[in-house]
Structure 1
Amino acid sequence: MSKIITETPRLIIREFNLDDVQAVYDFNADERVNLYTGDAGVIKSLADAERIIRDIWLTEYLQFGYARWAVVLKQTGKVIGFCGFKNDYRINETDIGYRFAPEYWGQGFATEANQACIDYAKAHMDLDYIVGDVVDRNHASINVLKKLGMNFNKKFQSFGFMIQRYDMYLKS
């Protein structure tokens, strides 16, 4: 059983485990999911999904106490995506992010899940500051970051994309 991080009325947010390999593959399978992520094509097989869980998320849970978390739809028990934080060594910041299978887009899950993560972080984690980087053409994700109360910080070029960075201080 994976550690449950937090819950919302519709979602359970928990740590990933190796039983989630098929789900991780499934929610990354549609090329639209990774269109603006900079890691399109990273998960092409179940072995790739297992590697991400084992070598990245499970390792980061041990190293930092957090990494991306599984988003489980309470109604079905199905893992529909991920949410939460990543210690991003490339930018020396903690990034908030999410990814969902397309059939769950436009239903408020990204905002709901990440607001729960922010609330959890404020109460239980030693995080003072988070960023959210989004490709400037990804208007839906920009709207999510704004709904979370994040503020525009700057624009920059990365991985061939124009990125907008939003940020938020968690401690006052």
Structure 2
Amino acid sequence: MSEGTQRGTNTLTVNQVAALCGRSTQWVHHLAKAGFVQKQGKNEYALVAVIRGVIAYYEDLQSKNSKTAAASRATEARTREIELRIQERMRDLIPLEDARAVVSEMAALVRAEFQGLPARYTRDMQDRRKLEQEIDGAFDRLSRRAEEAARSLETGRTDLEAEREA
């Protein structure tokens, strides 16, 4: 095989490269201008250089897209964090510790009121003990339910009914 014949089979024109890649000749010129493909002559490209250049171009494009996606996720996370801080400042959102403190304080007030109820209700010690037992039982049941709710909030699961059935 002569050098001219071999060169002819390994060299493509800009139109052949465009047809091979399913792109326009402008796209091929853009690849060459961007340094992905080296020209062999006027509007001629080596087949191997075209293949390597097209692969390099798409790898570079994929890398840029991956970096863009990561930057987009980071931007979305920062935006979400800012939104949460704004909601917290507007008191639309409160820290879990603050919510627990308020609930505990209210529960203590309710318990104190109900514990004084038997003494205010009757002087009969037998009736008073019976009423105290009923109130203590009610508070035990409420306490267990509150603990379930707290566990559910900590795990992010808010469907308490589904949790109880499971």
More helix by share: 2
Structure with more contact order per residue of length (Cα contacts < 8 Å, sep ≥ 6)? 1
TM-score, length basis structure 1: 0.18
User: Which is greater in Rg?
Assistant: 2
TM-score, length basis structure 2: 0.19
More strand by share: 1
